[in-house]
Structure 1
Amino acid sequence: MTAQPAASPAPHPFTLRLALGLVGVLIAALTSGLNDRITDLALADVRAAIGFSYDQASWITSAYQAAEVAAMIISPWLAVTFSLRRFTLTVASGFAVVGALQPFAPTPDLFITLRVIQGIFGGALPPMLMTVALRFLPPTIKLYGLAAYALTATFGPNIAASLAAFWTDAVGWRFVFWQVVPLILLANVLISWGLPQDPTRFERFKQIDLLGMLTGCGGIALLILALTQGERLDWLNSPLIAAMLLASLALLIVFFINEWFHPLPLFKLQMLERKNLAHGLLVLAGVLLVSLSGSALPSAYFGQVEGFRTVQFAPLALAIGLPQLIIAPLMATLLNLRWIDCRWMLICGVGLLCLSCLMGMQLTSEWSRQNFWLIQLLQAFGQPMLILPVLMSATSVVQPPEGPYASAMFNTVRGFSSVAASALVENFLTHREKFHSHTLVDNLGNRPWSITAENSTSASSLQPLLPDGSASSVENLSHFATLLKHQATILSISDAYLLIIGFALLLVLLTLWLPERVWPPQTLLQQVAKATR
């Protein structure tokens, strides 16, 4: 049996009512992303409040992210089947209800179970934003809709630090979870009033891709669990990590083979034959890694070297996040100009981020927040200059009936790449910090007479060099060890900036080689109008 061609929904006039419905979907998608990021940032406070051990608390984030990305695979299919409006309202409501109940979970197992359920609901929301943007927005404002989608990657994550600090320091840890409730209520009002109601399409269950759902969701969830827990459990030395990696590999191989031949798949892999879409997915993964240079690396410096709490370095993230409300529409306006090639805007964005990373490589222990403002300003302009051209180029080759397929692939790649990029950078920083620590210790061990307050090592390594075991000597050694760790951390962060520059240059090579030039959507509309005269 072969699938019937997906019928393109009848064009819906773009009115203020529909626009407010799209705003509701945007609020719901942003809330989903904020919930993930805020909980991660506030995890230490939450763990202390509910009495979780460090190991137990690590599964709170891992389980949520695994469920979140798994839901991104299937949510567009379910939205078409149950209708976009009904499905979005259902998952948004479930997301808020679980958030309201979360702080009352009496046991660690129930707490993590609720996070998994909320992750499923939360992961289903971002694909709805891309789906409605591709379906409802007319060509003249399509890029502004994509700019709104880009806010989930540039605005949301960068305001999360300030919100996390506000809830934990000024209000209470429970509001880390409860803050989703009023936002989702507002989103639901706008969605229920603004989005049109499509008919359900339950006949699609006759061709349900059940094997794809099981293998795809299971495989990606196991892979994310392995990536987020691998460093803590020592990777392949842990039977659990090894088993999860092998199982995920087997399940994903079956998933991709099944998707290629299934008549009604979750991923329409044949679409990857279009160069611009393949380029978009590859570059999107790289962009999420490169953008960590504006968030993860400064926070690593201030958290580990300066000992700052989240509230103290949150303004640096705001310096990237808040300007997006102006910069993202500005970039969309520029891309609407026929003479601007989105590929060259992407390359210019890479240049700005590389420049910011080169400046970050000069990091020393003398730096303060003032030294990062110019770096963050370059990030604020560079990040949307990467993401918007990718969205414009990739969606230009997607037809309206193919929107759910594109949404599933884009959001799954985005969700997985975000987790994988964070794991890569964190593990890279950990291993480079150990490498630099050992190097500094070796250098000090070879020249014990040159030990000063500027180059230190651990108390155990320097114990043979002590004239006695006095309290003051031990205190000095503790100070030396702290300075050594700080120096090793600074060197590892500098190495991470260099690593990100390398990935950014790969994005330039991909952009020069793979995609074809695309024109602004309204330009194509004008060409069609002229041809029909």
Structure 2
Amino acid sequence: MNIRPLIGLAGAIFAAMTVEFNNRISSITLVDIRGEMGISVDSGYWVSSIYASAMIIGMILSTSWAVIFSMRRVLLFAIGLCLFSSVLIPFSPNIEIFYLLRGLQGLANGLTIPLLMACALRFLGPEIRLWGLACYALTATFFPNLSAALAAFYLDVIGWKMIFFQTIPFCALSAALVYFGIPQDPLNYSRIKTYDWTGAILAIIGLASLSTMLLHGNHLDWFHSKLICVLALMSAITLPLFLIHEWRYPTPLIKPQMLEIRNFGYAVIALFCFVVIGMSTSTLPLNYLSAVHGYKPTQTMWIGLQIAALQFIYIPIVIKVLNQAWVDSRYVHGFGLLLVMVGCLGASQLDTTWNQDQFYFWHAISCLGQTCVVLSLLMMGTNSVHPTMAIYASPMINTPRAISGVLGVCLLDWVNRVRGEYHSTRLIENTAQHVFQNIQGPVINPL
């Protein structure tokens, strides 16, 4: 057995780990980065939205570039782009350069994640393919939770610049593994003539408008802002045109027709919804402990570490179950959804007496559910796709997943804002009812 492709797959995994750490850690520590670099709150919103837009664009373009330039070249380009932009960010002379470098970081992330899935589908046989997909699933379950612990460690122990300098060893290792392991395919310049340039332009405009609108909507009070109205109009026009164009174009970026495959279509939609749920289960406890109990990052990181560590226990068990011939992946999927629901309902009973110890049990249940859901979805989705359609399957799965991450942030911000305004209004009303009320007490005998 040739192990070089497996070494290349390991390099793709390390590359995905690097870009995910870059994404999550910098998002968690954005307030501290803004303070160190003198960036305003409004500019901070643009830092996040530029990264997200570039990441989504990279995900939909990644595999089409790999067909032209080869998978190895695109992966090495993404790794180099991540290293270059990350190392230079702490030395940005102005906010415009910071925006540019942050956008390059997002593009590197978007190019890397779909190619990890493509590597797993290409180099692994059916008997071990689920292990490769499990490595891809780590980008949705393991890396985000480990990022919270690393963010706390970097800020409180090493220093904020380590948030960006951490990419140096990871990028060097992943580039070496990719260069040695992934075979070099010939350049396919003939595809440039038939490249879907119209679809690429529509996708860039539509997806960038949509992600920017979602991330700035709460901040700018939605449709009371002219910018949000313009972005909504642009995305409402370009995205339907993009889907219609992709349906008819002979060599498209994505194939919407694949959604007609029942298992694949369900996997795409379910993963889209599940990422939103997963964001709330990993984000809300940390925000609660910080806001209510004043926990420092080094104290809240243990919840994230618990979820991350449990993945190494749960993933082999779930893979062993799914590989049994008599096991229907739909039942594993349903069982996982049930566990996630139980975990969310249990955690929803929190009150001011809760600390991190009360979250451990419910997070352990929810974590097992997440593993069952993600692996069963990937198994159902990829097993129903012919290998020749893998270049279309990867962006069809990853682009909606990236959009759902942006949507999850938007929904959490919206709920926090609306509920915060509601409670603030109720407190003011109750206070106003008693502000002029006479306060009477027992008569005190001066003698």
TM-score tier, shorter chain, comes to over 0.9
> 1:388-427 counterparts in 2 under 5 A?
388-427=375-414
1:34 deviates by 1.3
SS in 1 for 2:209: helix
Task: Please name the residue that 1:34 is paired with.
Answer: 21
Scaled by the length of structure 1, what TM-score is found?
Answer: 0.80
Contact 1:70 1:221 in 2 (8 A): yes
Distance 1:109 1:80 in 2: 33
| AA partner of residue 301 (structure 2) | A
SS in 2 for 1:322: helix
Question: Do structure 1's residue 320 and structure 2's residue 307 form an aligned pair?
Answer: yes
Q: Deviations over 1:500-533 (max 9, x none)?
A: xxxxxxxxxxxxxxxxxxxxxxxxxxxxxxxxxx
Contact 2:344 2:366 in 1 (8 A): no
Task: Please name the residue that 2:346 is paired with.
Answer: 359
Task: Please name the residue that 1:270 is paired with.
Answer: 257
Aligned match for 1:331, one of 297, 302, 318: 318
SS in 2 for 1:229: helix
Task: Please name the residue that 1:198 is paired with.
Answer: 185
Distance 2:192 2:338 in 1: 48
1:466 deviates by 9.3
Question: Do structure 1's residue 109 and structure 2's residue 96 form an aligned pair?
Answer: yes
Task: Please name the residue that 1:229 is paired with.
Answer: 216
Task: Please name the residue that 1:170 is paired with.
Answer: 157
Contact 1:133 1:142 in 2 (8 A): yes
Question: Do structure 1's residue 185 and structure 2's residue 172 form an aligned pair?
Answer: yes
Give the % identical residues: 37
Task: Please name the residue that 1:91 is paired with.
Answer: 78
Task: Please name the residue that 2:443 is paired with.
Answer: none
Contact 1:274 1:397 in 2 (8 A): yes
Task: Please name the residue that 1:138 is paired with.
Answer: 125
Contact 1:81 1:202 in 2 (8 A): yes
1:110 deviates by 1.0
Distance 1:306 1:226 in 2: 33
Contact 1:294 1:317 in 2 (8 A): no
Scaled by the length of structure 2, what TM-score is found?
Answer: 0.95
Distance 1:425 1:194 in 2: 41
Q: Gapped runs of 5+ residues in structure 2?
A: 440-447
Q: Deviations over 1:56-110 (max 9, x none)?
A: 1221111101111111011100011101111111111111111111111110111
- Count of residue pairs the alignment pairs up: 439
1:407 deviates by 0.4
1:307 deviates by 2.4
Q: Deviations over 1:158-183 (max 9, x none)?
A: 01111111111111111111111210
RMSD of Structure 2 on Structure 1 (CA): 1.5
Distance 1:316 1:15 in 2: 40
Distance 1:311 1:153 in 2: 22
Aligned match for 1:257, one of 238, 244, 254: 244
Q: Deviations over 1:364-399 (max 9, x none)?
A: 111111111101111221111110111000111111
| AA partner of residue 206 (structure 2) | G
Q: Deviations over 1:22-57 (max 9, x none)?
A: 011011012111111100111111111101111112
1:444 deviates by 5.1
| AA partner of residue 340 (structure 1) | V
Q: Deviations over 1:290-333 (max 9, x none)?
A: 21242122022112222223222111111111221232232112
Distance 1:434 1:359 in 2: 26
Question: Do structure 1's residue 303 and structure 2's residue 303 form an aligned pair?
Answer: no
Distance 2:121 2:319 in 1: 15
Q: Deviations over 1:426-456 (max 9, x none)?
A: 211221232233234434544x3xxxxxxxx
Distance 1:120 1:408 in 2: 14
- Structure 1 residues 23, 242: closer, same or farther in 2, change over 3 A? same
| AA partner of residue 45 (structure 1) | D
| AA partner of residue 410 (structure 1) | I
Higher mean displacement: 342-351 or 149-158: 342-351
Question: Where does structure 1 differ by over 6 angstroms across 4 or more consecutive aligned residues?
Answer: none
> 1:344-355 counterparts in 2 under 5 A?
344-355=331-342
Q: Deviations over 1:191-246 (max 9, x none)?
A: 11111111111111111100110111221111111111111111100101111111
Task: Please name the residue that 2:59 is paired with.
Answer: 72
| AA partner of residue 382 (structure 1) | G
Task: Please name the residue that 2:418 is paired with.
Answer: 431
